Structure 1
Amino acid sequence: MTGLLTARPLPARSKAFDLLFAGALVVSAGFLGLAQARWGGLLGLAMLGPLIWRRTHPELVFFAVSSVAVLQWLGGVDLQPGNVGLIVALYAISVYGDVRLSRIALGVGGLGVLMATSRYWSNSDWRQQVTMMVALGALVFGVWAFGERRRTRALYVVQLEERAVQAERDRDRESKLAVSAERTRIAREIHDVVAHGLSIMIVQADGGLYAADQSPEAAKKALATIGDTGRASLTEMRKMLGLLKQEEQRELDPNQPRPQPGVSSLPELIDNVRDAGLSVDYQVTGAPRDLPALLGLTAYRIVQEGLTNTLKHAGPGAHTSVTLDFGREMLTVVVTDDGRGGGVAPSTEPGHGLVGMHQRASVSGGTVNAGPKAGGGYEVIAKLPYHLPNGGQQ
């Protein structure tokens, strides 16, 4: 059973390092022992060779090296430079191996200390034996404890990485849910707008039918109104179908019909916000014009969201201004505050309200830019064209 760290793919650079490390030990300690004693040198090489796989198979490496050490003890072979492989294998299993097997390896190391003391220092003074036992035991335990500490830190880093990945997934999922919810809300509003347009067409058609004989001009005017209203409603439906493409169809609540606000409803909205304690200046520049229902609703919602964000984040004492600029080609909506109240700093990540602004503006072929101002405060600028990029009416 391997540990969590060995379950992760080992980089090619780490594999090359393990090969060079084991090769260096074989060349230095292994061949040095082989020069001193042929049989003991071979055992030393056998304890150093498996270290190539010390990170990928730490349990098997420790078992193999320990088995060779037992053969060395049974054969009465003196300690060799290759015995350093025992320390390296113990460190490897404490860092990369299974936790339970790592503790068993510590016990095996302690038993090895007793066996080595009884064999290689059996003729020494008891004080020397105790000294060697304590020194070897401290070495074994110290190596194992250092490996455990490194394992703990490495696992902590792995957990942080996994949490970061999960947090990113959660942000993506929340963003998608926010977009889906906003699209559903827009679909319901478009439903009301289109239903209103169809109601006008029906009324005009009935009126034109009755007036056809007595007043042909009135009938023509009714037919023209029907054509204009139908084209506008069809354009809105096409935009909505493009926006909600690949989205699941959701049932609309027939019990919630309501007139949708537009730019004419902004004074009432601003008065309500002023009643809530926010200082707001409202001005209109350019020549006001009648706007399609969808475009007016988009402008209203953007102003509403901008004022809501100011109430939430600008802090007490903040001053806000709302400007509608009726240009030749587009309507520009600006919501800005000075943030004098020292409110909460704007987040570095877009919230659901900002996502909704972008979605609404994109339906009308417009854009929204929002962010902190250089001198303090926050600013939202929306540019909403009167005509779609393909030349159609909104």
Structure 2
Amino acid sequence: MQGLLRSWWDEPRPPQAPRRVWRDWALVGLLAVAAVLEGTLRTDLQWRPISVIFPIVMVPTLLWRRTRPLLAMAIPVVASTLVQILAGADPAEMSSSAYIVILLYALSRWGSGREITAGLLLISVAVSASVVTGHIKAADVAGAYAVVFAGIALGGTFRYRARARMRELDQVKLLEREQLARDLHDTVAHHVSAMAIRAQAGIATAASDPGAAVDALRVIEAEASRTLAEMRTMVRVLRRDRGPAMPELAPNPDLADLRQLAGRGRVGPAVDVRIDGDLDGVPASVGSAIYRIAQESVTNARRHARHATRIEVRVAADDTSVRLRVSDDGDSTAGRPVASPGYGLLGMIERAGLLGGTCEAGPNPGRGWTVTAELPRTGAST
């Protein structure tokens, strides 16, 4: 209970309160006109001049109800109480005085926890003063508080909805950032790693085999060109709104592109790719996820698998799922992220999880390292 009260007390004002617009001035004008008309047409008013002048003077406080909610509410409440005590008149006997409900709503919607608490205490004092002066009967106190809490509850409801909406938008932004981070890692980091490996090979063979060094430079140039093309695609999409003809956030390869991972370079282990089963009808999201997981696994094996000579990529599909297995024959734990997985492994797990699948990585019983992933064929997320 103490924690709840502390949380209420420390509640800050909601961010980005709307600015004053023409509708606020229109509201003030309409309430002022309503007060004049009511004061003119009603014949049962006991304090007609005060009842008409008071709301006309006080409704401009509505203009500050978002930026200064406690002050906007305190001015008419304190003024009304003073008029009751000093003049013995009730300035709130007209229906147009219902503008105080708007101020109560604004206090709950835009005020801090301290301001709302102070406002409720002020209202309690004002109601008690009205009972003492006889302007409110003791039997009507419950009705007065019902009106007060109705305004507070309405403001709190809209405040909660706005906060929930902000949390939802923050979650969407976070998911977009995570997607962008995965795409950057899976595309750019893959090519940069390949360039680094080729550069190391070129440096090692430059003295004894200048031709190999030149070949390494050609590979680096090709990888750099592909990296720039993919970066331009990402930047182009991020700088414009996505329309029906716009490309996706990043290039989306599919299962057919897996064979591009196969082959043997001048340095590093050979990559063998084999695909089994019927892959017709596999959704593009599943195919892209399988490719990205395989690509990252091959990159990690080339980077971390010491003394590896072979990397096997196996994809098998049946009626319910698509399975991927990437294994190498290098040292099982040399340089591998066992205790603290890196962003690559986290990205693979996230990709599989978003489609309702699983992804695991770990050392083999003997030599090597294996990454396995299984995704539902339909690509339906859970």
If the length of structure 2 is used for normalisation, what is the TM-score? 0.53
Cα RMSD after superposing both structures: 4.6
Shift of 1:304: 9.5
Q: Distance between the aligned counterparts of 1:171 and 1:104, measured in 2? A: 45
Letter in 2 for 1:96: W
Is the Cα–Cα contact under 8 Å of residues 69 and 110 in structure 2 kept in the other structure?
A: yes
Residue aligned with 1:165, SS: helix
- Asked if 1:144 corresponds to 2:152, the answer is yes
Unaligned runs of 5+ in 2: 1-9, 232-264, 278-290, 299-313, 324-346, 352-376
Question: Take 1:55 and 1:145, find their aligned partners in 2: how far apart are those partners?
Answer: 17
CA distance in 2, matches of 1:181, 1:307: 9
Change (3 A) 1:377 1:131: closer
SS state of the match for residue 70, structure 1? helix
| Aligned residue in 2 for 1:16 | 22
Answer whether contact 1:59 1:97 (CA < 8 A) is retained: yes
1:4 — aligned with what? 13
Deviations, residues 149-201 of structure 1 (Å, cap 9, x unaligned): 33222222222222322332343344434445323421233235535874773
Q: Deviations over 1:14-58 (max 9, x none)?
A: x33333223221211355347862233221212212112322321
- Indicate how the Cα distance of structure 1 residues 71 and 130 shifts in structure 2: closer, same or farther if over 3 A, else same: closer
1:62–1:86 Cα contact (<8 Å) kept: yes
SS in 1 for 2:78: helix
Note the 1:171-250 alignment, pairs <5 A: 171-191=179-199, 194=202, 198=206, 201=209, 232-240=215-223
Q: SS of 1:56's equivalent?
A: coil
Aligned to 2:261: none
3-state SS of 1:185 partner? helix
Aligned length: 256
Q: Provide the rounded CA distance (Å) in 1 between the counterparts of 2:135 and 2:18.
A: 41
C-alpha displacement of 1:97: 0.8
Q: Which residue of 2 aligns with 1:77?
A: 89
Task: Classify 1:177/1:337 alpha carbon distance in 2 versus 1 (closer, same or farther; 3 Å).
Answer: closer
Q: Aligned to 1:341, which of 311, 316, 320?
A: 320
Give the residue type in structure 1 aligned to 2:23.
F
1:114 equivalenced with 2:147 (yes/no): no
Instruction: Provide Cα deviations, 1:92-133, integer angstroms capped at 9, x if missing partner.
Output: 1011111221122112212222222332447xxxxxx33212
Q: Match for 1:21: what amino acid?
A: L
Distance 2:19 2:175 in 1: 25
Distance 1:88 1:51, change over 3 A: same
CA shift for structure 1 position 135:
1.6
CA gap 1:141/1:230 in 2 versus in 1, 3 angstroms = closer
* CA 83–183 in structure 1, closer or farther in 2 if over 3 Å, else same: same
Unaligned runs of 5+ in 1: 123-128, 203-225, 248-256, 271-278, 282-301, 310-334, 345-350, 356-375, 379-394
Out of 131, 141, 150, the residue aligned to residue 139 of structure 2 is: 131
- Show the counterpart of 1:280: 276
For 1:117, what is the secondary structure of its paired residue?
Answer: helix
Query: Which residue of the partner structure matches residue 334 of structure 2?
Result: none
Larger radius of gyration: 1
Structure-2 change in CA distance of 1:95 and 1:175 (3 Å) = same
SS where residue 321 of structure 2 aligns? coil
User: Structure 2 CA distance, aligned partners of 1:304 and 1:166?
Assistant: 21
Q: Which residue of 2 aligns with 1:45?
A: 56
Checking the alignment, whether the CA contact within 8 Å between 2:70 and 2:107 is kept in structure 1 is: yes
**Number of the residue aligned with 1:383:** none
- Taking the aligned partners of 1:155 and 1:303, their CA distance within structure 2 comes to 36
Cα drift, residue 140 of structure 1 = 1.7
Residue 105 in 1 paired to residue 105 in 2?
Answer: no
Contact persistence 1:91–1:147 (CA under 8 A): yes
Percent identity reads 16
- C-alpha contact (below 8 Å) 1:2/1:57 kept by paired residues: no
Q: 1:307 to 1:233 in 2, by over 3 A?
A: closer
Q: 1:241 to 1:71 in 2, by over 3 A?
A: same
Q: CA deviation at 1:66?
A: 1.9
Specify the alignment match of 2:32 in structure 1.
26
Counterpart in 2 of 1:305?
A: 294
Provide TM-score, normalisation by structure 1: 0.52
